Amino acid sequence: MTPEDPQQNDRKPTDDEAVLEQDEQCLLYLLDELTPASRRRFEARLATDRKLGDELIRQADLIATLSQTSPLGDAAIEPPRRDTRRWRWVAALVSLAASIALGFQIARIAPPTHSLASRDNLSDADRRLQPTNESALFAEAWASSQTIGKSSQDSLAEAAIEDPFDPVPEEPSSDMDSQVSWMFVAIASSDEMQTEGGNDG
Amino acid sequence: MSESRRPCPDPNDDAATSGETDNPPARKALREQFEEVESGLRAFLRSRLRQESDIDDCLQVVFVKWVESAEQVAPAARRAWLFRVAMNEAARMWRSEASTHRMLQQRGSDQGTVESLEPIDRAILRETTEQVEQALRQLPADWQEVVRMRIHQNLTFQQIADQLKIPLGTALTRMRRATERLRRELDHDAT
């Protein structure tokens, strides 16, 4: 269907409407969307109305230039920021949930094994294995997750992967022993917990 | 100046369109496309050039340029392109009062496509296109969408209205507002 010609209305347009109609007529004419009758009338006016010709050329110039621009893709039309912003919120919530879950795990295990008194009673061999508090916390959390259940381990791992705002900076690789020491503690702790579990059962 | 109205050059005439497409159906299609707009171009040129023979000469040049450049013109912009070229030719003719022969001789170094423009013209055209592109991105998304569908995809306003499930008048209004805004932006940049 071709857009209707406003000139077909009986009512006489006001000056503003006439200008508007002229703009619109030029646009429709250049885009070949006028009816044949409207097109003939427009061309008849064009031969005598220099202002109409000026307007037509202005519009022609713009349309020709527009056609030389690169076609806008969906990405250009819909700013990608909206999605990014939404995903940032989701990531932040996941990160928060993961932090809370980790906190609970640590709080459940930490009190009996991290008092200074118990550290004082350790043998030299144990002290060599005893890492920093931070390492111990990580180790025990890991060991606990081995016995608590696979589902919670998976959710923690997923949260860690999905969390783009991990606040924990990477450790410098200067001291290899301190990096792996938590593993030794973890294995020892895991064995201990399994033994206790066996005794209980 | 000739007294009788001369039709646009026959695209089958190698002298008139040498170096252009050798495909007869394609040439015929180009001629038909030109003839659809020719009456409008003639009407427009009547308000710019006094002599009917000058109008014929101008139309000949426009047609030759059309045959040379048609492949590079987006279908939705055919009329716009032809009117722009006609306006440029009329202005050139009015200034120099050159003969058809001179204009046809010049056409080898003065064509309406990006590839054939002088470096300075090419730079201006590129800058204008970039300005339009930039201004286009500042428009509301639904206006941009209509412009893209109408100009780049060559959908009619009715097809756009159907696809977007909006009234025909709304599609038309978005396009008109978009072109108004773009022109204001370009006028503002030019001053």
The verdict on A36 touching B (C-beta cutoff 8 Å) is: no
Q: How large is the average pLDDT for residues A25-29?
A: 94
How confident is the model at residue B140, as a pLDDT? 95
**Residue B59 and residue B82: Cα distance in Å, rounded?**
10
**Residue B31 and residue B25: Cα distance in Å, rounded?**
10
Tokens of B114: 């990006």
- This model's pTM is above 0.90: no
Is the pLDDT score of A34 beyond 70?
A: yes
Nearest-CB residue to A43 (from B40, B153, B175): B40
CB–CB contact B87 A60 (8 Å):
yes
End-to-end CA distance of chain B: 41
Q: How large is the average pLDDT for residues B157-186?
A: 93
Q: How large is the average pLDDT for residues B54-82?
A: 93
Backbone dihedral angles phi then psi of residue B140, each to the nearest 5 degrees: -55, 145
Is the pLDDT score of B76 beyond 90?
A: yes
Q: How large is the average pLDDT for residues A50-59?
A: 93
Q: Which range scores top for mean pLDDT: A42-46, A168-172, B23-27?
A: A42-46
Nearest-CB residue to B128 (from A48, A59, A65): A65
How many angstroms separate the CA of residue B83 from the nearest CA in chain A? 7
- CA–CA distance from A17 to each of A12, A22, A25, A40, A49 (Å)? 9, 8, 12, 21, 18
Q: Of A6-10, A13-17, A117-121, B102-106, where does mean pLDDT reach its minimum?
A: A6-10
**Residue A137 and residue A132: Cα distance in Å, rounded?**
9
CB–CB contact A66 B182 (8 Å):
yes
Is the pLDDT score of B68 beyond 70?
A: yes
Contacts of A27 in chain B (CB under 8 A): 175-176, 179
Cα Rg for chain A, rounded, in angstroms?
38
How confident is the model at residue B162, as a pLDDT? 96
Could you read off the pLDDT of A123-169 as tens digits, one per residue? 555 555 555 566 666 666 666 555 444 444 444 444 444 444 444 44
Q: Which of A31, A41, A42, A48 to mutate to probe the B interface, most B CBs <10 Å?
A: A31
Mean pLDDT of all residues belonging to chain A: 66
Contacts of B114 in chain A (CB under 8 A): 68
**Residue A82 and residue A85: Cα distance in Å, rounded?**
5
Q: How large is the average pLDDT for residues B123-146?
A: 89
Nearest-CB residue to A62 (from B133, B153, B182): B182
Q: Which of A20, A77, A82 to mutate to probe the B interface, most B CBs <10 Å?
A: A77
DSSP character string of A11-66: SPP-HHHHHHHHHHHHHHHHTT-S-HHHHHHHHHHHTT-HHHHHHHHHHHHHHHHH
- CA–CA distance from B137 to each of A76, B87, B130, B144 (Å)? 7, 29, 11, 7
How confident is the model at residue B154, as a pLDDT? 94
How many angstroms separate the CA of residue A102 from the nearest CA in chain B? 44
The verdict on A60 touching B (C-beta cutoff 8 Å) is: yes
Dihedral angle of Cα B126, B128, B132, B134, to the nearest 10 degrees: 70
